[in-house]
Each structure stands twice: as C-alpha cells, then as structure tokens.
Amino acid sequence: MMVDAQYYVAESEGGDVVADPSEDALYMRISDLVFPDNSFVTIQPPGERDDWHVVVALLEEGGYEVEYRHKGRGEHRVVNETEISDIAHEVIIWLGDVVRRTHKG
C-alpha cells in the first residue's frame, strides 16, 4: 500500500499502514497487536529504502520484543518490554534520532 510519508511508515502484519505516526499512533498500533494475524508492527523509511527499521512483536508468553536495526551505524539490539507506553516512547525517541541524523544539514 502506498502512503505519503516524509520520515517513516508503520505497517502492521494485519495491513494497517500509518505515515509518520506519532507516539500515540504507535501506542495504538502496538495495543492492537493480537495473535495470529496481527502480531507485529514494523516501522521503517518510506519507499524501498531499508537503511533501518524497528519491529515490535507480540510474544506468546506475554510482553513484546522490540528490535532496533540501523545498518549505517552497525546497530542491532533486541529488548523485551511489557509496557506499551514505554515501548512507544522509546521507539519515538529512537526514530527522532534517526530522522535528525538522516535529514540534518
């Protein structure tokens, strides 16, 4: 699905797509995650670029796994979280840093 996004796109496994989502919109996407057909949301640059991404996945045993990957920085980390508000907040901070570094100058 094509969307007009300036910085990033959030797409859930169930097909919900949001351009440049706010922290509240990310919270909603994460809280909507359920098994079996909508168990993760991916946030990445718009278009065909794959420089970086964040994936928030619902865990069967409860809680969430959050994967941060940025090829240019050599960053790859995975954390487990239980609080959706904490996840949305941390993801927005990480995205803000990526966008600021990518679009500076």
Count how many domains the chain has: 1
In a domain, 14, yes or no: yes
For the cut 60, the answer to whether the pLDDT of residue 2 exceeds it is no
Total-model pTM = 0.92
41: β partners = 12, 56
Greatest Cα pair distance in the chain? 44
In a domain, 16, yes or no: yes
pLDDT in tens, 33-90: 999 999 999 999 998 888 999 999 999 999 999 999 999 999 999 999 999 999 999 9
pLDDT in tens, 11-28: 999 999 999 999 999 999
Domain that holds residue 17: 9-102
1: confidence class by pLDDT, cuts 50, 70, 90: very low
